[in-house]
Chains A and B, each alone.
Chain A
Amino acid sequence: MNRAHVTELLADLITNSLDSSDASRVRRHLSHCVACRSEWERLQAAFDSLGMLAPAQTPSETLRNRILAGLPRRITALPSFARGVARHPLAAIAASLLLLAGLGVSITMNVHHYTAIRNGANFAQLAESSRILTVLHGTELAPAAHGMIVISENHSRGLLLAFGLPEPPEGYAYQLWLVRNDDLRNAGIVRVNAQGHVVHHIEISEPLNAFLNFRITIEPATGSDVPTGTRVMDGSLETVNM
């Protein structure tokens, strides 16, 4: 799909006037075309601004208090998979690893992953000594994606597990970034198997708990020095009470 074609379809996408197949094609194109994505974001923002014209109405006076009282504790504000992780992190990690192994994830992983998955003792050790958890959510480009990063107790190693990630566009790959204020660290290319599963080891020269946010972006297949593509997953550091 060339860029001009996508540009002509952006208004259709914004007004929900494309069939699901065309909408998917346009979204795929937007995931790696910076120019079209920028145009889409600007048009979408203009469309959204129409809400300013809604005649002003007054909600009940109790709404504010209801909203504040109803805010969930952060750790419970997670998708079902992650809620399980938060409640029973060790069991969830073990279940995830069993699930991955059962699904034959190791077959499509690179040698590094394969060795790690085969070496169950390393994972068990990591899980037992882990106290910090980051839950990752898919963005609108990967709404079904969810995952977590477990950080070892001494903060030297991490493990990313993710599910539901679509294959990256041809010629592109996913890349993991660790974020600390305006500072970003490249945490490597993330490989996705045919089922959309990811197992990725994180080892960098700095303690992982120094990074408050984690994100995965679409980058050229060889990787980038800094993020250049669309964000597909992100999350912030959580500490799990075990």
Chain B
Amino acid sequence: MKEPPPEDGLLIRRIADGDRQAVGILYDKYGRLLYSVALQLTRDKHCAEEIVQDVFTTVWRKATRFEPQKAALVTWMMRITRNRAIDELRKRKSRRDVSVGNILEVVEEGENFDFRNSRLMDPESSAMREWDRARVAKAVETLPEEQRVALLLAYFRDLTQKEIAEQLGEPLGTIKSRIRIGLRKLRKLLESSEVPEEQ
């Protein structure tokens, strides 16, 4: 039986010590997730792969700077991925798709994917990924729809609060409140270790 992958803390220490094999293991755990984030933001497969390659190179270079008390390793890598994707979008001045219906479909589309059938992930990583996704999805679903939409537009379409207000035809102050309150609620929900109950 295949051994489960090492924990993230051990992996990042091995990478900091120059262990290239640990980068491969980390890729097996999170490569697909990071690619999915990059692709959702850029809508360009080639670009998304380049971004993922950059992310793992950054992790390799900056492993000693990772501070586990600030964020989980996967959160840190997702932040690098998103920042890199946004840089790419701004460089290309890509037109951003901002329709409200579309942004909610992002979440619905993700719910239909069966991670257990993934060829590139070991069973334990698949299960963890599925659990993480379910945890975040449950928390997001708990938010009122208007808060959910505002946060998803900010994250996946890189829209500022002003741009969201313009796109939704709402006052800026309303959008600010939705994002501020929604983000605080989301933080509280995610910091509780359990998956929220169905409403």
Contact = CB atoms under 8 A, between A and B. Distances in A.
A72 B71 contact: no
B100 interface: no
B160 A16 contact: yes
B78 A67 contact: no
B127 interface: no
B110 A51 contact: no
A59 B38 CA distance: 11
Contact of B160 (A15, A54, A77, A137): A15
Interface stretch (B1-9, B19-27, B91-99): B19-27
B24 A53 contact: no
Contacts of B179: 11, 15
Given A64-B31, A70-B53, A55 B60 contact: no
Given A12-B176, A63-B35, A235-B64, A55 B158 contact: no
Interface in B59-109: 60-62, 64-65, 67, 70-72, 75, 78-79, 81-82, 106-107, 109
Contacts of A45: 70-72, 75, 187, 190
Contact of B183 (A47, A67, A77, A236): A47
A80 to B, nearest CB: 14
Given A47-B183, A59-B32, A67 B23 contact: yes
Contact of B32 (A8, A58, A68): A58
Contacts of A115: none
A122 interface: no
Interface stretch (A36-44, A95-103, A160-168, A191-199): A36-44
Contacts of B187: 42-43, 45-46
Interface residues of B, number: 70
B133 A52 contact: yes
A74 B18 contact: yes
Interface string A218-235: 000000000000010011
Interface string B161-182: 1100000000000001001100
A122 to B, nearest CB: 30
Contacts of B56: 67, 71
A63 B32 CA distance: 10
A4 interface: no
Contact of A54 (B40, B118, B151, B162): B40
B132 A52 contact: yes
A44 B82 CA distance: 12
B172 to A, nearest CB: 9
A51 B37 contact: yes
Contacts of B158: 16
A67 B77 CA distance: 15
B107 to A, nearest CB: 5
Given A15-B161, A64-B24, 20 more contacts: A8-B180, A12-B161, A14-B183, A17-B162, A41-B70, A47-B183, A50-B156, A52-B33, A55-B106, A58-B119, A58-B120, A59-B35, A63-B31, A63-B52, A66-B53, A71-B23, A71-B56, A71-B60, A72-B61, A236-B64
17 contacts: A15-B161, A43-B187, A46-B191, A47-B186, A52-B33, A52-B133, A56-B33, A59-B52, A60-B45, A60-B49, A64-B28, A66-B49, A68-B27, A71-B20, A74-B18, A137-B62, A137-B65
The 10 closest A-B pairs by CB, nearest first: A46-B187, A55-B109, A17-B161, A51-B78, A54-B40, A54-B36, A52-B136, A50-B155, A11-B180, A236-B64
